[in-house]
Amino acid sequence: MKKFFFAAITLILLSACAKSDTEQGTPDITPEISSPAVSETIISIDELKQGSGYLLLDLRESTLFNGFMQEGFDRGGHLKGAINFPYSTLKDLNGQGIDLLEYLKGMGVTPDKKIVIYSNDNGKSFDLSRKLIDLGFEDVKFFEGLADWANDTSLELIKYPNYQAIVNPTWINKLINDEKPESYNNSDYIVLEACTDENASLYEEGHIPGAISFNLNNIESEATAFGLNPYDAIIETLLEYGVTADKTVVVYSRDDSSAARLVFTLLWAGVKDARFLDGGYAAWEQSIYDKDTTINGNVPETNFGGGGAPKEGLIIGAGDIATNLQDPTFKLLSIRGQGEYSASVVEPLISRPGEISGAIWGYDTAGYLNPNGTLKSFGEVKEMWSDIGIEEGDRLCFSSTFSDQACLPWFIAYVGGWGNISLFDGGYYSWQLDSSRPVQTGQPAGQ
């Protein structure tokens, strides 16, 4: 193995400082060795292939981790078993007063583990290694051969089946400037800002250029117990907004779940290419790209295309919940706060506090988000689910109070290619309206 000498460290520092602030900021790094007992080394491809119990940390942004190609690479994705810890998370944790070690422990990254760090920037890798060593990690190594690994097709690289559904601001900027971003093989697109009555007015203050405001009231209402409107009505609304089955539809929002709700609806209705801006409008604001204040009007279409019916199996009705729960592989995940799940907190419009009998508490939406509001990786979410008894092959149905929040983990499962996923549309609100349906109360198991 090759040791880091001071000259090499100096080069790392210089390359890190040369990065622009738009590339996740300039790392705060120092060449001093904190602990002489720790040997910092570069690990080779051959050594990494042998395994030996390394825990891999991928410091790149989520879209590269998920499967988009990095410049100069022949393939996209991440090393098998790697955990996505974007370097920008350090700044987010510090800004929110979150302890780095405790956060890492929550991801399964503990000082007793042997750590291998890789990134697209050696300065970022070096900075994180110094922080880990200061926190008591004793075995921290660097892997600098990611490009060689990616360009060797004999080596495994993990790409999520629907990785392309999550995009970043750079991808959208290329799209709206006719630069044909990766995985876009279409000739027509539309950008929609998903909103609710509470945040609809923010569109006028600024939005992604060309975006059209789309209120979720167009697809659901209290009259449908906040489930989706009938299919024909949904199609009529989508056509009014210029959406067709063959058009690429890019969706973003200013909250955690509105964009996921609209993306779910689009896929259910038959749209073939729906994209989700990771981090929402906040990610666009923090980028180098301009915002627009033009109020963009709809350009209606007349022919939706598609198969003339919604995609089967994506929605499960209340009448089928009890039957499905008899199957031990069917898991109904409640995406609500623990207080709402246990009935210690009563939400507006809820007359029967509690939860659907047989539902498992599957974390609230915050549990599926990184500190900066981007989505946690599918791999990290799988680990979360294993902690509550979810196994590969389980049939997962997601429920929340009004469906929107349940669409967030549903979408992550979709990106990761989980085989059998559905939504209980209308959620607990619609369930508790019928007094004959059983309700449970009490804290989630193990809490």
User: Is the pLDDT assigned to residue 288 strictly greater than 60?
Assistant: yes
Buried b or exposed e, range 311-330, using 16+ CB within 10 angstroms = eeebbbebeebeebbeeeeb
Residue written as token pair 């974007």: 86
Averaged pLDDT for residues 112-116: 95
Enumerate the domain spans of the chain. 2-150, 163-285, 318-440
User: Is the pLDDT assigned to residue 23 strictly greater than 50?
Assistant: no
- Report pLDDT digits (tens) over 142-176: 899 999 999 999 999 999 999 999 999 999 999 99
Q: Confidence band (pLDDT; 50, 70, 90) for 28?
A: very low
Averaged pLDDT for residues 280-307: 96
User: Is the pLDDT assigned to residue 38 strictly greater than 80?
Assistant: no
Q: Can you identify the CATH homologous superfamily of domain 2-150?
A: Rhodanese-like domain (3.40.250.10)
Averaged pLDDT for residues 198-217: 97
The greatest distance separating any two alpha carbons of the chain, rounded to the nearest whole angstrom, comes to 74
User: Is the pLDDT assigned to residue 9 strictly greater than 50?
Assistant: no
Q: Span 163-285: which CATH code?
A: 3.40.250.10
User: Is the pLDDT assigned to residue 36 strictly greater than 50?
Assistant: no
Specify which residues 190 forms β-bridges with.
249
- Selection from 240, 76, 234 nearest residue 166 by Cα: 76
- Selection from 89, 414, 379, 65 nearest residue 260 by Cα: 414
Fold matches, 2-150 and 163-285: yes
- Report pLDDT digits (tens) over 39-60: 458 899 998 988 778 999 999 9
**What topology is assigned to 318-440 in CATH?**
Oxidized Rhodanese; domain 1 (3.40.250)
Averaged pLDDT for residues 108-121: 94
Averaged pLDDT for residues 237-252: 98
Coil vs helix vs strand at 341:
helix
Distances in Å between the Cα of 284 and the Cα atoms of 67, 119, 232, 287, 338 are 21, 23, 33, 5, 32
Averaged pLDDT for residues 351-369: 96
What is the overall mean pLDDT for the chain? 90
Averaged pLDDT for residues 123-141: 93
